Amino acid sequence: MAYKETFWMACDSTEQLRAEYGPFQSRNEAEQEARKLGFGYLLRYEHIIGENDEIQEVRCIFLELAPSTAPPRVNRRLHTRCATCGESAAHDEAWRAEVWADIHEFEHARHRVRLFEQTRAEGLREIGDWRDTCA
pLDDT digits (tens, 9 = 90+) for 23-75: 999 999 999 999 888 889 999 999 999 888 888 999 999 999 988 666 555 67
Domain layout of the chain by residue ranges: 3-64, 76-133
Whole-angstrom Cα distance, residue 88 to residue 27?
A: 39
Side chain identity, residue 55: I
Look at residue 92 in the predicted model and tell me its pLDDT: 87
Look at residue 120 in the predicted model and tell me its pLDDT: 74
pTM of the model: 0.51
Q: Which helix (H) or strand (E) segment is 29 a member of?
A: helix 27-37
pLDDT digits (tens, 9 = 90+) for 14-31: 888 898 999 999 999 999
